[in-house]
Copies of this chain bind each other. A is one copy, B any other.
Amino acid sequence: MNNFHFHNPVKILFGKGESSNFKDEIPVGSKVMILYGGGSIKKNGVYEKVQEQLKDYEVIEFSGIEPNPHYETLMKAVEIVREKGIDFLLAVGGGSVLDGTKFVSAAVHYPNGDPWNILSKGDIKSITNPLPIGAVLTLPATGSEMNGNSVITRSETKDKLGFGTPLVMPKFSVLDPTVISSLPERQVANGIVDAFVHVMEQYLTYPVNAPIQDRFAESILCTLIEEGPKVMNDSSDYEAAANFMWAATMALNGLISTGVPQDWSTHMIGHELTALHGIDHARTLAIVLPGVMQVMLQNKKDKLLQYGANVWNVTNGTEEVKVNTTIQKTVDFFESLGIKTRGSEYGITEATVDEICNRFEQRGVNALGEKGDLTIDNVRQILKMRL
């Protein structure tokens, strides 16, 4: 195992009814901005619960944070925060609302010109006095509720970029699994696949003798495979929803990546498909991951065999047979959730492949993967294979 630092101070309030139980977490006297999305929280009862919790605070609302939250939208929130002297941000929503809120938090007192620099120049170190964040999660998927990561899209340039810093970790996150019962099937499926791929990107690299991390990763994968379909069949199954929700949080809170290599190439490539074609984030991952597994097979073979054996019980046949069976089982799992895994099914053509490779070239992105040897040619291979 490699050396690591691990520090995750996010407080989790988990379970039925916790959305009516968080007001003590917000400092008395705070001026709170509630940030949310398209208004689904007004249909599922979460909005009323949050209002009830905040009745002793001065509150301003900011709605309309879109999926793949836009820099342009968020800068409007930043303006209002500055103008009104807001000092606490409460994100109520899924990963997009949380990610967007993190950007607002970092941008408000950013001293170095346009806060877009945080993303485009990776200028984390200039972030000054970020606003404290609380979160009420309404959609398990991204893990944003227990980490300092954020991905923001600039609609003008179709750039979808991420930043990460402990400075924008939520102070607390409320995870009430009852919210899942009101989610559309499509969002549940997306959440399962997103969490699944998060684990894979911290696990499917090469072995470094880290059995706790490997077993924890396999634990999350097995739980998603087992509980995901139950939630799809019956989103009011509280126990399955709770297990799915906790699995998604554990998938990206820094725990399983301690001391092990990581490979975020599937996300990097997937982000481009969303930026250019508007495909749901999770669906881009389902398209790209099987290609990364195939093309980067030599780097990943040992872990692929381990993953096949421990997660899918693939133990018979030659190594080649086992690897292929394992990749196919992964694809079948995504498809079983109603997620198409071929780019052509989403209208992607070779022209998009070229465009993505060009964009990577322009940005100087040419060393992805756990060993930094995934080239732009490999990106091309991966995407063509998955058309």
Contacts and interface: CB of A to CB of B under 8 A. Distances in A.
Interface in A164-206: none
Contacts of A239: 1, 209
Contacts of A4: 12, 14-15
Interface string A237-258: 0010011001100100001001
Contacts of A49: none
Interface stretch (A57-65, A215-223, A274-282, A289-297): A215-223
Contact of A6 (B11, B215, B222): B11
A259 interface: yes
B8 A8 contact: yes
B12 A9 contact: no
A13 B216 CA distance: 20
A309 to B, nearest CB: 14
Chief secondary structure at chain A's binding surface: mixed
- By Cβ-Cβ distance, the 10 closest A-B pairs, closest first, are A3-B15, A215-B219, A9-B9, A7-B11, A6-B12, A209-B239, A211-B223, A1-B242, A4-B14, A212-B246
29 contacts: A1-B15, A1-B239, A1-B242, A1-B243, A3-B14, A3-B15, A4-B12, A4-B14, A4-B15, A5-B11, A5-B12, A6-B12, A8-B9, A14-B258, A209-B239, A210-B243, A211-B219, A211-B222, A211-B227, A211-B243, A212-B220, A212-B243, A212-B246, A215-B216, A215-B219, A215-B222, A216-B219, A218-B219, A246-B258
Contacts of A219: 211-212, 215-216, 218-219
Contacts of A5: 11-14
A157 interface: no
Contacts of A216: 215-216, 219
A257 B332 CA distance: 33
A18 interface: yes
A8 B222 CA distance: 25
